Amino acid sequence: MDFDIPVLFSDGDVLIVNKPAGILVHRSEDTSRHEPAILQIMRDRSGQHLYPAHRLDRPTSGVLVLARSRDMAAILNRQWAQTQKTYIAVVRGFTPEQLRIDHPLRDLDDPTAAAQEAVTDLRRLATVELDQAVDRYPRTRYSLCQLQLQTGRRHQLRRHCKSIFHPIIGDTVYGHGAHNRFFREVIGVSRLLLHHLQMELDHPRTGQKLQLRAEPDQDWQRVLHEFRWNQALDP
């Protein structure tokens, strides 16, 4: 299967792409060796081994940084906490205009361990109210939000949005089934509406400031058009 994976930046040290939703970054012991993964696809296209500098969940799309050597991956990983990372999400309800979500999260692989610090900054970009009952209310509200990671816990954005009762649309683990079904059946979008839109990264060798932006896919464009949010993401 041929996947459209736009390249945002490439040189001898790093390869930065716009990851499509629904594709793994790399295979694990729990996945089939035949399942497509970004690392294998881009390795085959570039003819060299690649190393992920960070994680993106399978259903999440957007900016993904790959290193062309283990040394570059280690440098990128060390500077990751200081790297500005901006996501967008569609969530249920009207969120506050701005909110710092400071909610510690437990390790998903070791739920007995103490919760770790986890901080996300939320800014509301747009809202819509529909004259249609989806859940128990006669009208339905959604927000388009900008989310900035201040820490990097597993599933942090998805878990944090759930913690403030504004789950991300399309989230089959932490979301709300009725709203996911509405988007699937009425809007025609079944993916998780979480996208790594842009980031600022210091090049690991030259120190050059890289400003990267991954344009949202067709499903996102459908939602933005349907809710008249087309201008909300203008740079």
Which sequence positions are flagged as catalytic?
57
H runs (alpha helix) in the chain: 38-46, 70-79, 156-163, 177-182, 218-226
> How far is residue 160's CA from residue 168's CA, in Å, rounded to a whole number?
10
CB 194 within 8 A of CB 168: yes
b/e sequence 16-48, b meaning 16+ C-beta within 10 Å: bbbbbbebbbeeeeeeeeeebbbbebbbeeeee
The answer to whether 117 and 84 have CB atoms below 8 angstroms apart is no
Residues 6 or more apart whose CB falls under 8 angstroms from that of 15 comprise 7, 9, 42, 46, 50, 66, 67, 68
Single-letter amino acid code for the residue at 9: F
- Binning the chain into helix, strand and coil, the percentages to the nearest 5 are 20, 30, 45
Q: Name the DSSP letter for residue 80.
A: G
Structure tokens at 120: 């996300």
